[in-house]
């Protein structure tokens, strides 16, 4: 009888920590949207085909966000815009809706839908030309595009909603929003049910998806790459263990199921990292084929198709290796083929592996559980359904979970191995370039500060530190990443680092307001039209007093540091021959915040200085650091006068500054969103240069 080949899919379900842990708001919507469409679709297909047994690697940070959404403890701007009636949206919200609700696959969604395509041609026009019907249609098309069609079809009225092309009603709109919400709410219980039936094995990763070998010691990368590395190195093996243990315990508690397997983030392993995985209580782990094959030169490829036993000081642990070619074919190749040809090609490879076995073996397909389906016709449903069906009907091939396959396949002893990840067997994506190394320096400095916090302060800020240790931020640094997404993730990364200090009650270091990205100029030049000498009384803006100043309109939606409605509606800046003036117009709810704190950080040739006004216990106080003369008032507006002597600046000198606003226990605005504002103080002969008859 021919040996049996176990085909083991490990679908990796992961999203970064998009949630601001001080506000509960997710700054990007992808956790919720991928769950409502792609993750749910994959569960639906498994329920449809009970002979398909797979492993799902559910990252704890994804599970935590889904649990928060399910219990109405998390929201995001896309959700709020999609859920509200169009007639309740103001013009700014309508403009945001049009700007954001075309974020779907152009070829597979917009081009396949005549109404969506028609609306996309209008997106660059002024918002006033959009009718309420057009806006409602856009809401519904976006929500439907990000909802599992298989599940939607089974709901009352769902087939009608799937077939509708335009002229959606408010009842249609509400039904689509409810359907999407239900899918997110039901996802974790649904997954747990598949696990209890034995059809699915859930594995997990370190809590916030860090690169374990680098978290243990960034110098580990020197073994497999010849790039500059951060100095001093980041070395916190205790953090790696905390990420592992807490992640395992969290998912086990959430699903009420034991977890045996660990996909280390990005398949990143090292001898010490595998030891820590074993110490955390996992019985198996996985990584890329390159980690094994480079240690067995000259051996046939068949060595890949059985597990290996790794002996560690924490006990033995089993390791399996992904077939890179087959995993990448599903991820990057088969979307452009017909379903029949893609499945036929895949099955040809499976048969070749099976026919070359001399004993029972296992073939591991390990890949993302969401991104590939964006590019498949029908969101990947037809392909996956046909693939599961073909595998189930193939002789001497079994679709199995990793845990079940390990029971019937003989393991070999793992040779000594070098560290690496699933990408080229090294860590170049996450360390070695200038931006990557700078991000590690930010993390090291924050981690060192956190280590000096009191136990209570550490407890309050621990989750933000874990989030900042995740791998996702450095994925977007470096020359090969797209600019728009890089900016969003740079903002998110620094938001988590900033929250470490905010949650602990410590001032945020200036460095964290400087982007890691080495991009275009990040200086906003502010040049007043002339001299001014306004009254400092906290009253409303008066034209004559502030006419010569520069008015700056903050953008509430331009980054993770400023999310949602703006806390500052306008900022006016000017100068006299001896002082700088600021007028900060706060949003009404922000002005009334009990723990309001506004900080103006300045830098001149003589060094840094700052002005702070803070409301605490009903009292409002203001001061400068270093101490110096100032005049300020907070009533309807916050008005500030800072003499040049106080900020240690000279006439004719260039001064840079940033405005930070906090309230409700969190940072709510930085102005500008990234970089600094710059002003050149009036020269000593300013009056002569600007004299007019």
Query: Phi and psi of 435, rounded to 5°?
Result: -65, -45
Whether 679 contacts 673, CB under 8 Å = no
Mean pLDDT in residue range 438-454: 98
Average pLDDT over residues 150-155: 96
What is the pLDDT at residue 36?
A: 98
Q: Is the pLDDT of residue 23 over 80?
A: yes
List helix spans (H) across 281-367.
Answer: 289-293, 324-328, 339-355
The residue with greater pLDDT, 525 or 115, is 115
Please give the Cα distance from 461 to 457 (Å, whole number). Answer: 6
pLDDT for res 337:
95
Query: pLDDT tens across 510-551, in order?
Result: 889 888 987 554 678 888 888 888 999 988 877 677 888 888
Q: What single-letter DSSP state applies at residue 314?
A: T
Confidence tier at 693 by pLDDT (50, 70, 90): very low
Could you tell me if 294 and 288 are in contact, meaning their C-beta atoms sit under 8 angstroms apart? Answer: no
Q: What is the pLDDT of residue 618?
A: 83
pTM for the model: 0.87
**HEC readout, 416-452:** CCCCECCCCCCCCCCCCCHHHHHHHHHHHHHHHHHHC
Residue 238 CA, chain-centre distance (Å), reads 24
**Domain range list for the chain:** 5-17+200-413, 71-196, 434-513, 523-689
**CATH architecture of structural domain 523-689:** Sandwich (2.60)
How far are the Cα atoms of 632, 658, 678 from residue 645, in angstroms, in the given order?
A: 16, 19, 18
Q: What is the pLDDT of residue 560?
A: 44
User: Distance (Å, rounded) from C-alpha 95 to C-alpha 347?
Assistant: 48
Q: What angle do CA 171, 174, 175 make, to 5 degrees?
A: 85
Is there a contact between 272 and 314 (Cβ–Cβ < 8 Å)? no
Q: Which helix (H) or strand (E) holds 138?
A: helix 132-145
Let me know if 522 is exposed, middle or buried by CB neighbors in 10 A (0-12, 13-18, 19+): middle
**Residue 561 has what pLDDT?**
46
- In DSSP notation, 277-290 reads HHHTT-SEEEEEHH
What is the number of other CB atoms lying within 10 angstroms of the CB of residue 620?
A: 15
Residue 642's CB is within 10 A of a number of other CB atoms, namely 26
> Over 70: is that where the pLDDT of 116 sits?
yes
Measure Cα distances from 337 to 67, 207, 334, 340, 375 in Å.
37, 36, 5, 8, 11
Q: Where are the beta strands (DSSP E) in 37-183?
A: 54-58, 75-76
CA R_g for the chain? 28
Query: Per-residue pLDDT averaged across 44-63, rounded?
Result: 97
Cα–Cα distances in Å, from 111 out to 38, 120, 157, 162, 666? Answer: 20, 10, 25, 16, 42
Percent of the chain scoring above 70 in pLDDT: 95
Residue range 47-69: average pLDDT?
97
Query: In whole angstroms, what is the distance from residue 456 CA to residue 504 CA?
Result: 8
Predicted pLDDT of residue 270: 98
pLDDT computed for residue 1 by the predictor: 62
Q: What pLDDT score was predicted for residue 564?
A: 53
Digit-coded pLDDT (tens) for 674-687:
778 888 998 877 65
- Round to whole Å and give the CA distance between 393 and 386: 11
pLDDT value at residue 452: 98
**What is the mean pLDDT of the segment spanning 501-518?**
90
Res 625 pLDDT > 60: yes
Q: Contact at 8 Å (CB) between 568 and 561?
A: no
- Contacts with 126 (C-beta within 8 Å, 6 or more apart), sequence order: none
Q: Nearest 5 degrees, angle CA 584-CA 587-CA 590?
A: 95
Q: Which fold has domain 5-17+200-413?
A: 7-stranded beta/alpha barrel (3.20.110)
Q: What φ, ψ does residue 526 adopt, rounded to 5°?
A: -120, 110
Is pLDDT at 484 greater than 90 in this prediction? no
Overall size of the chain counted in residues: 693
Give tens-digit pLDDT for 248-291: 999 999 999 999 999 999 999 999 999 999 999 999 999 999 99
Examine residue 674 and say whether the peptide bond preceding it is cis (omega within 30 degrees of 0): no
Quote the pLDDT of residue 5. 97
**pLDDT tens figures, 546-568:** 888 888 777 544 444 445 567 88
Residue 690 is predicted with a pLDDT of: 54
The band of 570, judged by pLDDT with boundaries at 50, 70 and 90, is confident
Collapsing DSSP to helix, strand or coil, 530 comes out as coil
Give the integer Cα–Cα distance in Å for 298 and 316: 27
The Cα–Cα gap between 605 and 19 comes to 38
What is the C-alpha separation between 659 and 568, in angstroms, rounded? 10
**Cis bond leading into 38, ω under 30°?**
no
Q: Where are the alpha helices (DSSP H) in 554-616?
A: 588-591
SS3 662: strand
Is 187 in a helix, a strand, or coil? Answer: helix
Q: Are 409 and 307 in contact (CB under 8 A)?
A: yes
């Amino acid at each position: 009888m021919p040996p049996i080949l176990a085909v083991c899919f490990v679908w990796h379900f992961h999203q970064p920590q998009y949630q601001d842990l001080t506000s509960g708001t997710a700054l990007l919507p992808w956790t919720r949207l991928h769950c409502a469409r792609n993750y749910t679709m994959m569960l639906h297909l498994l329920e449809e085909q009970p002979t398909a047994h797979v492993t799902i690697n559910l990252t704890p940070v994804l599970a935590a966000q889904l649990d928060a959404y399910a219990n109405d403890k998390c929201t995001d701007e896309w959700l709020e815009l999609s859920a509200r009636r169009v007639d309740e949206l103001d013009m700014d919200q309508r403009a945001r809706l049009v700007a954001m609700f075309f974020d779907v696959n152009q070829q597979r969604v917009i081009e396949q839908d005549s109404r969506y395509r028609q609306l996309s041609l209008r997106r660059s026009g002024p918002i006033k030309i959009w009718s309420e019907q057009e806006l409602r249609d856009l809401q519904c098309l976006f929500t439907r595009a990000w909802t599992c069609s298989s599940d939607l079809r089974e709901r009352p009225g769902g087939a009608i909603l799937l077939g509708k092309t335009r002229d959606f009603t408010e009842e249609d709109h509400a039904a689509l929003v409810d359907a999407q919400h239900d899918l997110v709410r039901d996802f974790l219980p649904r997954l747990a049910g598949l696990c209890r039936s034995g059809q699915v094995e859930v594995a997990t990763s370190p809590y916030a998806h860090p690169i374990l070998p680098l978290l243990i010691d960034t110098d580990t990368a020197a073994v497999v790459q010849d790039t500059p590395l951060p100095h001093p190195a980041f070395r916190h093996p205790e953090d790696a263990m905390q990420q592992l243990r807490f992640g395992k315990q969290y998912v086990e508690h959430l699903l009420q199921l034991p977890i045996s397997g660990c996909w280390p983030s990005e398949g990143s392993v090292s001898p010490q990292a595998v030891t820590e995985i074993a110490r955390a209580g996992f019985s198996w782990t996985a990584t890329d084929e390159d980690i094994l094959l480079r240690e067995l030169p000259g051996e046939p490829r068949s060595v890949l198709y059985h597990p290996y036993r790794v002996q560690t000081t924490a006990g033995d642990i089993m390791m399996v290796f992904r077939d890179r070619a087959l995993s990448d074919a599903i991820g990057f190749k088969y979307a452009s083929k017909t379903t029949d040809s893609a499945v036929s090609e895949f099955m040809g490879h499976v048969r070749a592996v099976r026919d070359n076995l001399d004993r029972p073996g296992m073939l591991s397909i390990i890949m993302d559980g969401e991104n590939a389906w964006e590019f498949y016709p029908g969101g990947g449903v037809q392909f996956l359904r046909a693939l599961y069906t073909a595998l189930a009907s193939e002789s001497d091939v079994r679709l199995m979970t990793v845990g079940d396959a390990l029971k019937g396949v003989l393991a070999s002893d793992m040779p000594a191995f070098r560290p690496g990840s699933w990408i080229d067997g090294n860590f170049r994506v996450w360390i070695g370039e200038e931006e990557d190394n700078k991000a590690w320096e930010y993390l090291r400095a924050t981690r060192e500060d956190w280590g000096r916090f009191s136990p209570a302060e550490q407890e309050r800020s621990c989750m933000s530190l874990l989030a900042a240790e995740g791998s996702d931020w450095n994925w977007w640094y470096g020359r090969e990443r797209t600019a728009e997404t890089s900016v969003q993730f740079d903002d998110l990364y620094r938001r988590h680092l900033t929250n470490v200090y905010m949650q602990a009650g410590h001032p945020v270091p200036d460095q964290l307001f400087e982007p890691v990205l080495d991009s275009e100029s990040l200086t906003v030049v502010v040049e007043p039209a002339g001299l001014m000498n306004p009254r400092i009384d906290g009253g409303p803006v008066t034209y004559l007093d502030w006419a010569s100043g520069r008015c700056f309109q903050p953008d509430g939606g331009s980054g993770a540091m400023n999310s949602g409605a703006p806390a500052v509606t306008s900022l006016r800046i000017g100068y006299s021959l001896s002082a700088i003036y600021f007028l900060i117009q706060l949003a009404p709810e922000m002005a009334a915040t009990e723990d309001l704190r506004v900080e103006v950080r300045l830098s001149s040739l003589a060094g840094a200085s700052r002005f702070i006004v803070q409301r605490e216990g009903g009292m409002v106080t203001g001061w400068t650091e270093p101490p110096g003369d100032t005049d300020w008032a907070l009533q309807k507006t916050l008005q500030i006068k800072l003499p040049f002597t106080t900020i240690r600046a000279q006439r004719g000198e260039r001064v840079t500054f940033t405005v930070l606003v906090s309230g409700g226990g969190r940072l709510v605005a930085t102005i500008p969103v990234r970089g600094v504002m710059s002003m050149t103080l009036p020269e000593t002969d300013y009056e002569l240069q600007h004299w007019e008859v």
